[in-house]
């Protein structure tokens, strides 16, 4: 029921995930296969590139749909607990152009057309307050995990780029003060 929900609610080009994280139900003794569980606990991860208010409206629609299905069963009930994660990291296009130009003029390989990434990032809180842009350093190496994963292991040979990027941005003579 939830898998097709995003396609019915959101613009089809809107990046999103609606994925089960955990589900606990029944008796895990392997002997009680004919007993309906009295309680089920299910956690779902929901990520979008929507501004916070629209994301919350999307969550409310999901809960309404789930509640509608659960109400079909006598004596069944549903309780929701939402845990607000990081907001979507949405770059300001004007800042992307400015910073991308600075980085390119200093020899950096810049990919302005990178597709949206649904990972949570603390920098998103800054972008809610001020226009800015988030850049990835490009230090991924084969066999390592991605950011915020336990086996994340960036290529240390690429760290100098981060220093160069920031120095290029803060010392740019063409920026408006």
Tens-digit pLDDT profile for residues 47-89: 888 888 999 999 999 999 999 999 999 888 999 999 888 888 8
Look at residue 85 and tell me if it is in a domain: no
- Number of domains making up the chain: 2
Look at residue 51 and tell me if it is in a domain: yes
Could you tell me how far CA 120 lies from the centroid of its own chain?
A: 4
- Do 104 and 160 share a domain, yes or no? yes
- Do 158 and 105 share a domain, yes or no? yes
Q: Is the pLDDT at 8 greater than 90, yes or no?
A: no
pLDDT band at 98 (very low <50, low <70, confident <90, very high): very high
Among 138, 55, 147, 128, which Cα is nearest to 90's? 128
- Do 65 and 102 share a domain, yes or no? no
- Do 50 and 102 share a domain, yes or no? no
Look at residue 78 and tell me if it is in a domain: no
Tokens in use for 156? 């240390």
Q: Could you list the residue range(s) of the whole structural domain that residue 130 is in?
A: 93-170
- Do 162 and 99 share a domain, yes or no? yes
Q: Does the global pTM surpass 0.85?
A: no
């Amino acid at each position: 029921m939830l898998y097709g929900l995003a396609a019915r609610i959101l613009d089809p080009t809107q990046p999103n995930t609606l994925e089960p994280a955990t589900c606990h139900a029944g008796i895990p003794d392997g002997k009680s296969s004919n007993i309906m569980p009295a309680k089920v606990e299910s956690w779902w991860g929901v990520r979008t590139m929507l501004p916070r208010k629209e994301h919350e409206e999307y969550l409310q629609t999901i809960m309404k749909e789930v509640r509608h299905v659960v109400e079909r069963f006598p004596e069944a009930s549903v309780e929701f607990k939402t845990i607000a994660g990081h907001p979507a990291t949405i770059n300001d296009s004007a800042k992307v152009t400015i910073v991308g130009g600075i980085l390119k003029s200093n020899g950096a390989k810049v990919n302005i057309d990178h597709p949206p990434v649904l990972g949570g990032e603390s920098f998103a809180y800054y972008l809610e307050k001020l226009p800015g842009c988030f850049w990835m350093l490009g230090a991924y190496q084969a066999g390592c995990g991605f950011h915020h994963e336990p086996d994340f292991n960036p290529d240390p040979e690429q760290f100098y780029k981060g220093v160069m990027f920031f120095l290029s941005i803060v010392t740019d003579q063409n920026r408006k003060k």
